[in-house]
Structure 1
Amino acid sequence: MSNKRVPIVCHGHTRPIVEINYSQNTPEGYFLASASKDGKPMLRHGENGDWYGTFEGHKGAVWACVLDTPALKCATGSADFTARIWDACGGSQLHEFQHNHIVRCVNFSFHGSSKLVTGGMEKIVRIYDLERPDAEPLKLPAAQAGIRSVNFIQDDNLVICSHADKPGIGVYDLRSLQLAQAIETTTSVTSIEVSFDQQHITTAEGAYVRFFDAASLQKVKQHKLTAPAESASYCPSKRKFVAGGEDMWVHLYDYDTGQELECNKGHHGPVHTIRWAPTYDAYASGSEDGTIRIWFPDCTEPAAAP
């Protein structure tokens, strides 16, 4: 008999959800941040999805929403050409960084959360020093296409990024501000996840999900999926990964074999974003239908073949 829990459905957004991110596990638990085209990024309790608050102020769709390591600050990127930093506890705006085009992605540095990286349709990656927010940001060499995702890796010395409509992954060294490595892909990369322990990188590239060692940037594994994925997330402790995309379903796969273990139905639009919780006992998905769903893997593992 299955012990599978019913998923939690989180309402509140009025337009498609384009990004969700869990915080690290903190002494107060963990939290879930969501970005939506309704322009109202939200903060929720990570375990039960209860709404904590909405960050009010953006004048356009919000494409990115992420929490820093202690979950005390939230960063957002928007179609109103700004990236903003918020007090995650009280909801007030702390900083606003003006850009010249849509800000598609933002991320905090892992150690100390003292830096913010941004990217978007301006084709420029900027790194802001949050201890000197009025200082000019560092800029990486101009890209050939809009920036879809940005993440700090390797003790915050490197930034890994992908493009909106162009194949390939770029890895930049922040000490030299130069391209350190280019990783070829056959199609554009719609999602790059860096694991909570900073050891694993997971990419969604159409029909393929690939896994890289974050220290060496070497590909460890790749799987061709049953359905193309817009987003994917890896659970190292259970050696499973989840993916979602245009088919509106949320798929759970075995990391070693690529076998589909579960197919969760419930969304009424494409799944744009999916992430494991830091405790790895649940994962959340955000959809075109404006809802977040928190899923719980089946507690009963299939019996081993005799």
Structure 2
Amino acid sequence: MDKRKVAVPLVCHGHSRPVVDLFYSPITPDGFFLVSASKDSSPMLRNGETGDWIGTFEGHKGAVWSCCLDANALFSASGSADFTAKLWDALTGDEKHSFEHKHIVRACAFSEDTHLLLTGGFEKILRIFDLNRPDASPREVGNSSGSIRTVAWLHSDQTILSSCTDSGGVRLWDARSGKIVQTLETKSPVTSAEVSRDGRYITTADGSSVKFWDANHFGLVKSYNMPCNTESASLEPKLGNIFIAGGEDMWVHVFDFHTGEQIAITSS
């Protein structure tokens, strides 16, 4: 008998092709919001609590691989196979700026103060765009060893986190010098890397396992083997007592952070 617990999820319709990235905003005076990236080229904004559709950002001409919201959910950004990263007004849906690249943009992230946009992708280069001067040339932080899969900011925008599609590990770069200051070693490529809301942990998924790292001292805190090949993982932002993971089996698995025990499963 299958003893897995099955929760009834909110189902948010709208995309016509697979969803490849999701991003929740912090809690704002108006609540919190969810933006989704899809191969259908049209990122969507939703109410984070109810899943209700708010609007669609129209303008990309290729699959959208990454999306994010700023701290106040006033702006959104997206990275696409059309060789651009776009900045959007999250209130009106208007395109504010399009940042040209020479290849597919696979990842993007706002700095904590929302003045900077970090991008990475098939060019193997990390770029930082100044949103106060969007027409200015970006600053290139460093050349990666492979195509960039994930990017994030750490330590009040002093450190940049990135992972590659064809090599294991997460690299931490000094944002000012452009030098690698630390590497979090994994045997397989990291397909998901996230900094927790309280800044304590870095959560990574590398196919066979989900790992939690100390975001200040970079030691491995916990590592759990997964029941299937896992593409993405996220730590619950309020109490941090649970984490979710999803991958090839098309289920979302819910685990106890402290023990690694699976406590629920739901369809994705």
TM-score tier by shorter-chain length is: over 0.9
Q: Aligned letter for 1:210?
A: K
Q: How much has 1:5 moved relative to structure 2?
A: 6.3
Q: How much has 1:121 moved relative to structure 2?
A: 0.5
Normalised to the residue count of structure 2, the TM-score between the two structures is 0.95
What is the aligned partner in structure 1 of residue 172 from structure 2?
Answer: 171
What is the aligned partner in structure 2 of residue 216 from structure 1?
Answer: 217
Q: Aligned letter for 1:169?
A: V
What is the aligned partner in structure 1 of residue 181 from structure 2?
Answer: 180
Aligned length: 262
Cα separation, 2, equivalents of 1:45 and 1:209: 28
Cα separation, 2, equivalents of 1:149 and 1:75: 14
2:46 to 44, 47, 54: 44
Q: Aligned letter for 1:174?
A: A
Cα separation, 1, equivalents of 2:31 and 2:142: 39
Conserved in 1, the CA contact under 8 Å of 2:7 and 2:264?
no
Q: How much has 1:235 moved relative to structure 2?
A: 2.1
What is the aligned partner in structure 2 of residue 88 from structure 1?
Answer: 90
Cα separation, 1, equivalents of 2:126 and 2:146: 11
Matches within 5 A, 1:20-99: 20-99=22-101
C-alpha distance 35-243 of structure 1, shift in aligned 2 (>3 A)? same
What is the aligned partner in structure 2 of residue 127 from structure 1?
Answer: 128
Conserved in 1, the CA contact under 8 Å of 2:106 and 2:150?
yes
- Deviations along 1:254-273, whole A, 9 cap, x unmatched? 11111111121x34xxxxxx
Conserved in 2, the CA contact under 8 Å of 1:157 and 1:173?
yes
Q: Over aligned residue pairs, what C-alpha RMSD do you find?
A: 1.2
Q: Work out whether 1:255 is the aligned partner of 2:257.
A: yes
Conserved in 2, the CA contact under 8 Å of 1:225 and 1:258?
no
What is the aligned partner in structure 2 of residue 275 from structure 1?
Answer: none
What is the aligned partner in structure 2 of residue 299 from structure 1?
Answer: none
Cα separation, 1, equivalents of 2:255 and 2:132: 41
Shifted more, 194-203 versus 240-249: the winner is: 194-203
C-alpha distance 100-40 of structure 1, shift in aligned 2 (>3 A)? same
Cα separation, 1, equivalents of 2:83 and 2:14: 24
Q: Aligned letter for 1:32?
A: L
Q: Aligned letter for 2:208?
A: A
Cα separation, 2, equivalents of 1:193 and 1:115: 18
Q: Aligned letter for 1:116?
A: L
- Deviations along 1:176-219, whole A, 9 cap, x unmatched? 11111122110000000111222221000111100012122222
Q: Work out whether 1:160 is the aligned partner of 2:161.
A: yes
Q: How much has 1:17 moved relative to structure 2?
A: 0.2
Shifted more, 255-264 versus 18-27: the winner is: 255-264
Cα separation, 1, equivalents of 2:180 and 2:172: 6
Q: Secondary structure at the match of 1:29?
A: coil
C-alpha distance 129-51 of structure 1, shift in aligned 2 (>3 A)? same
Cα separation, 2, equivalents of 1:52 and 1:87: 13
Cα separation, 2, equivalents of 1:167 and 1:121: 16
Cα separation, 2, equivalents of 1:85 and 1:199: 28
C-alpha distance 181-5 of structure 1, shift in aligned 2 (>3 A)? closer
What is the aligned partner in structure 1 of residue 143 from structure 2?
Answer: 142
1:245 to 221, 244, 247: 247
- Deviations along 1:48-80, whole A, 9 cap, x unmatched? 111000000000000011000000000000000
Give every structure 1 segment of 4 or more consecutive aligned residues whose post-TM-superposition deviation is greater than 4 Å: none
Cα separation, 2, equivalents of 1:196 and 1:168: 22
What is the aligned partner in structure 1 of residue 3 from structure 2?
Answer: none
Cα separation, 1, equivalents of 2:156 and 2:167: 27
- Deviations along 1:12-58, whole A, 9 cap, x unmatched? 00000000000000000000000000000000010011100000000
Q: Aligned letter for 1:217?
A: F
What is the aligned partner in structure 2 of residue 11 from structure 1?
Answer: 13
Q: Which runs of 5+ in 2 are unaligned?
A: 1-5
What is the aligned partner in structure 2 of residue 108 from structure 1?
Answer: 110
Cα separation, 2, equivalents of 1:5 and 1:159: 36
Q: Aligned letter for 1:184?
A: E
C-alpha distance 238-174 of structure 1, shift in aligned 2 (>3 A)? closer
Q: How much has 1:132 moved relative to structure 2?
A: 1.5
